[in-house]
Amino acid sequence: MLVLGLETSCDETAAAVVEDGRRVLADVVSTQVDIHRRWGGVVPELASRNHIVQVMPVVHEALTRAQKTLDDVDLIAVTSGPGLIGALLVGVQVAKGLSLATGKPFVGANHLEGHLLAIRLIEDAPEPPFLGLVVSGGHTSLYEVQAYGRYRLVGSTRDDAAGEAYDKTARILGLPYPGGLPIDQLAQKGDPEAIRFPRALPGDNFDVSFSGLKTAVLHHVRKHGVPEGQALADLCASFQEAVADVLSKKLVAAARRLGHKQLVLCGGVAANSRLRALCSERARERGLNMYLPPVRLCTDNGAMIAVAGYEAYRRGLRGDFRLAADPAWRM
């Protein structure tokens, strides 16, 4: 079964062609970061307008690279939430248009389900049940993936998402948006023990909090000025260590308490080098299996939506022309 996956929930216009929810034939991502960077974050109206311009060329490119045509496609899967309403609408309307024009079925997919199921695209992928931590710009949510379509939220952030903490910290430090990659790169040259930033592990549950960490960075910068050179690398490494420490601790603690052996990290922040290393290390120490998607499957892409759509279709879900974009869709 050939699935065309469409993703336009935020600032990436993405389309992919995936076979049987497992094999990626083509995966095209057109990012808008250059457009939003000068504003220091995603400007929703600019995002929707650019999706309109990019979406059909991106679909054509994906089909061309896969050496397929729309005739070969069996299902169109599209992110219908959560995300920016105007941005989501572009993908949803395109999916409906393509469906109407070709007679092919379409289905709306949840963006977080897409992140969680991206792991299905690696070799020796885990089957549910597994414990999945979605860490992205908009979400930091821990899910029990009990079966396809059965997800239980067991913990989340009380305030900022992990990616948001990265992006806000980058802004404080005068680094470009999005802040994850530049901080990650600088951190690799720094001392993670240079500054002891706070770790918020609120209560005996699986929630996390990052606003205190961001504020601690702000206080540090107010007191000492924006660091440069080695001091900047040290601050980035110390910040990164605090994020990775908190997330990996909560993930492993939840696995133990809930009795999971298979752990999955996903979402844009799952691209982070230290988070990947520390989660793997702590999982290994406790005899747990840590699964990490390759970096290109961590950040937003169409392939993960094709997988989520494929699984939804197999469960009997069908989109109809009343399908609405749901910016706050809770899974």
Binding site for ligand KG4 (CB under 6 A): 10, 136-138, 163, 166-167, 178-181, 184, 267-269, 271-272, 299-300
Using the minimum distance from each CB to ligand KG4, give the nearer residue, 194 or 295: 295
Using the minimum distance from each CB to ligand KG4, give the nearer residue, 262 or 272: 272
CB of 44 to ligand KG4, least distance (A): 13
Q: Which two tokens stand for residue 51?
A: 């999706």
Using the minimum distance from each CB to ligand KG4, give the nearer residue, 245 or 300: 300
Residue located via tokens 């110390």: 238
CA angle 240, 245, 251 (to 5 degrees): 125
Look at residue 184 and give the partner it binds from Zn ion, ligand KG4, none, a contact being a CB closer than 5 to 8 Å depending on partner kind: ligand KG4
Q: Is beta strand 12-19 parallel, antiparallel or unpaired with respect to 23-31? A: antiparallel
Asked whether 145 and 307 are in contact (CB, 8 A), the reply is no
Residue 198: CB atoms within 10 Å: 12
Instruction: Give the single-character DSSP code of 290.
Output: E
CB of 12 to ligand KG4, least distance (A): 7
CB of 269 to ligand KG4, least distance (A): 4
CB of 271 to ligand KG4, least distance (A): 4
Cβ neighbours of residue 85 closer than 8 Å, sequence gap 6 or more: 44, 325, 327
Q: Which helix (H) or strand (E) holds 152?
A: strand 150-156
159 annotated as belonging to a binding site for a ligand: no
Look at residue 178 and give the partner it binds from ligand KG4, Zn ion, none, a contact being a CB closer than 5 to 8 Å depending on partner kind: ligand KG4
**DSSP conformation letters of 164-224:** HHHHHHHHHTTPPSS-HHHHHHHHTTS-TTSS-------TTSS-B--HHHHHHHHHHHHHH
Residue located via tokens 């908190």: 246
Please tell me the distance from the alpha carbon of residue 308 to that of residue 115, in angstroms, as a whole number.
Answer: 9
272 annotated as belonging to a binding site for a ligand: yes
136 annotated as belonging to a binding site for a ligand: yes
300 annotated as belonging to a binding site for a ligand: yes
Binding interface with Zn ion (CB under 5 A): 136, 300
135 annotated as belonging to a binding site for a ligand: yes
Using the minimum distance from each CB to ligand KG4, give the nearer residue, 128 or 138: 138
Using the minimum distance from each CB to ligand KG4, give the nearer residue, 73 or 86: 86
Which residues are annotated binding-site positions for Fe cation? 111, 115, 300
